[in-house]
Amino acid sequence: MENIIGVKELRENLDTYINEVKRGKSFLVIRKTKPVFKISSPDEQGAWETVIDFTKVSKKGIPISKLLSRL
């Protein structure tokens, strides 16, 4: 079961929730009874996905204007 917390609860006890996330827990944060976002460890499987690595084009990346001009 998902751990559900309110925005106010998260704000008032941020350090506690940071430590819980470090231990592997995740939380669904709600505002006015509606889900707003989920917090979880970046190590959670599937949490990070590399879409494109611009450093392969250039070590310093590429300017946004150059990227947009190619679209």
Distance, CA of 1 to CA of 18 (rounded, Å): 19
What pLDDT is recorded for position 45? 61
Name 62's Cβ contacts closer than 8 Å, sequence gap at least 6: 54
Q: What is the DSSP letter of 3?
A: E
For 7: left if phi > 0, alpha if psi spans -120 to 50, otherwise beta; the answer is alpha
The terminus-to-terminus CA distance of the chain in angstroms comes to 42
Domains defined along the chain, listed by start: 3-69 (3.40.1620.10)
What pLDDT is recorded for position 40? 87
Show the low-confidence residues of the chain (pLDDT under 50): none
